[in-house]
Structure 1
Amino acid sequence: MKFFALFIYRPVATILLSVAITLCGILGFRMLPVAPLPQVDFPVIMVSASLPGASPETMASSVATPLERSLGRIAGVSEMTSSSSLGSTRIILQFDFDRDINGAARDVQAAINAAQSLLPSGMPSRPTYRKANPSDAPIMILTLTSDTYSQGELYDFASTQLAPTISQIDGVGDVDVEAAHCPPYASG
């Protein structure tokens, strides 16, 4: 009861305390971050492989299945989906939220290397992977042009050397190499 008596017998102190608490509340409210959606980093990695001219069934059985077996052994995979179309396969791996995406990327590369001997020998290139965050938008677009190299050579350089190098940079969520007339871009 003595605690409440202080507020009754000291009305000026009570008003000043109320004003101070209200001001702290207003300042605190104005300092709260405002975003339409919370920033959530989804640890997602996409693996792509191509075999020109192969049917979707062939891609599923001879390319996707060995990769899925190898990728399925990675710790922390919460979901794995794959789709095969004419000449290409895409496998999407979603990891547990507490899994470091860079460590997961190293494990994916090791799994791709382990499955390499089980893949068809006619594949023009090894399967590739890229880190992706579905909520990210591109923040940088790179365009390659050359007077000495053809568009095909530039595309090969971008997809085999430039994209894997950029995707290993800390903070890069996704690197996408588009057709020869479209630029490769990085988001993250």
Structure 2
Amino acid sequence: MKFTDIFIRRPVLAIVVSLFLLVLGLRSIGLLPVLQFPRTENAVVTVATTYTGADAGQVAGFVTTPLENVIAQANGIDYMTSTSTPGVSVITANLRLNYPSDKALTEINTKVNAVLNRLPPEAQRPVLNVKIGQTTDAMYIGFSSKTLPPNKITDYLTRVVQPQLQAVDGVQTAEILGGKLFALRAWLNPRKLAAYGLTAADVHTALANNDYLSAAGHTKGQMVKINLTASTSLHSLSGFRNLIIKQHNGAVVRLKDVAKVTLGSEDYESQVAFDGHQGVF
């Protein structure tokens, strides 16, 4: 007796099996993955370092080169590119296809931390950022005001708008273009500096020595313990203006005597405009 004879003698069984296979096939159609291309992950790790006041050659020699040498030792890197501009070093590490981005970011961060003592003291700590996949700018939102300056608009966007946009599902990052961060601007007068026998380095030293926070430890008695903090940081524009730069024979030279001190932006080298009005994107 052949196997097919069972279904000939029992037609009801044959119908039930056929219906079962039909239902199973229909159910499987919706579960089959349909991909035009295979699923891939292409990540890019960016290391940005700020070295204020340095030209492109100094940035390349003292910041970019040491970082490139250690980042190249990390696993999973396909190729690297770097740019050195006045005051800024940017190193881009393109990872191999489907290499875990979290693992590469951790290893690159470890390599960068190991070489921090070789960077110039004036250079800021490198900032690492990872982007996965092909990033596309889906929308540009412009902010401008007739009453608020760009630095106040940037402060509002950083504190309120940017966190909400980054919390939206599917948004990888929300970047601020043309932002102006708050910064103290001391416009030095060379004639007044020469008259008082001062240089720009003397002003820089005075600012560095009089604007810092120090942990002084703690004091405790039998029942009480108090933490001590020595704060000499300046918090107001008037405090910076009255900062003592030099003392000689009872005479005091303050920062306002040799410079015009204002609260402005970190840089004025670029700006963003929309319909002829300066703004922030």
TM range (shorter): 0.5 to 0.7
**Post-superposition offset of 1:45:** 1.9
8 Å CA contact 1:131–1:173 kept in 2: the answer is: no
Q: In terms of Rg, which structure is larger?
A: 2
Q: Structure 1 residue 48 and structure 2 residue 48: aligned?
A: yes
Q: Structure 1 residue 91 and structure 2 residue 84: aligned?
A: no
8 Å CA contact 1:81–1:91 kept in 2: the answer is: yes
Aligned length in residues = 169
Which residue does the alignment assign to 1:179? 178
Structure 1's 99 and 38: CA in aligned 2 closer, same or farther, altered over 3 A?
A: same
Structure 1's 80 and 49: CA in aligned 2 closer, same or farther, altered over 3 A?
A: farther
The structure whose residues are more often helix, as a share, is 1
Structure 1's 174 and 95: CA in aligned 2 closer, same or farther, altered over 3 A?
A: farther
When structure 1 is superposed on structure 2, of 86-95 and 23-32 the one drifting more is 86-95
Secondary structure (helix, strand or coil) at the match of 2:115 reads helix
Tell me which amino acid in the other structure corresponds to 2:78. Answer: E
Which residue does the alignment assign to 1:186? none
**Post-superposition offset of 1:130:** 0.8
Structure 1's 121 and 175: CA in aligned 2 closer, same or farther, altered over 3 A?
A: farther
Which residue does the alignment assign to 1:106? 106
Which residue does the alignment assign to 1:7? 7
Secondary structure (helix, strand or coil) at the match of 1:21 reads helix
> 1:25-47 CA deviation, whole Å, 9 max, x = no partner?
12211233556656544444221
CA distance in structure 1 between the partners assigned to 2:33 and 2:70 by the alignment: 42
**Post-superposition offset of 1:100:** 5.8
Structure 1's 173 and 152: CA in aligned 2 closer, same or farther, altered over 3 A?
A: same
Tell me which amino acid in the other structure corresponds to 2:49. Answer: A
Alignment of 1:88-167 (within 5 A): 88-94=89-95, 97=98, 99=100, 101=102, 103-123=103-123, 125-135=124-134, 151=151, 154=154
Structure 1's 16 and 34: CA in aligned 2 closer, same or farther, altered over 3 A?
A: same
**Post-superposition offset of 1:59:** 4.4
TM-score (norm 2): 0.44
CA distance in structure 2 between the partners assigned to 1:34 and 1:9 by the alignment: 41
CA distance in structure 1 between the partners assigned to 2:118 and 2:171 by the alignment: 30
Alignment of 1:66-81 (within 5 A): 66-74=66-74, 76-81=75-80
Identity %: 21
CA distance in structure 2 between the partners assigned to 1:63 and 1:131 by the alignment: 20
Which residue does the alignment assign to 1:24? 24
TM-score (norm 1): 0.60
Tell me which amino acid in the other structure corresponds to 2:119. Answer: L
Q: Which has the higher contact order (CA 8 A, sep 6+)?
A: 1
CA distance in structure 2 between the partners assigned to 1:42 and 1:24 by the alignment: 37
> 1:137-172 CA deviation, whole Å, 9 max, x = no partner?
679x99999x999728957x95xxx99xx9xxxx99
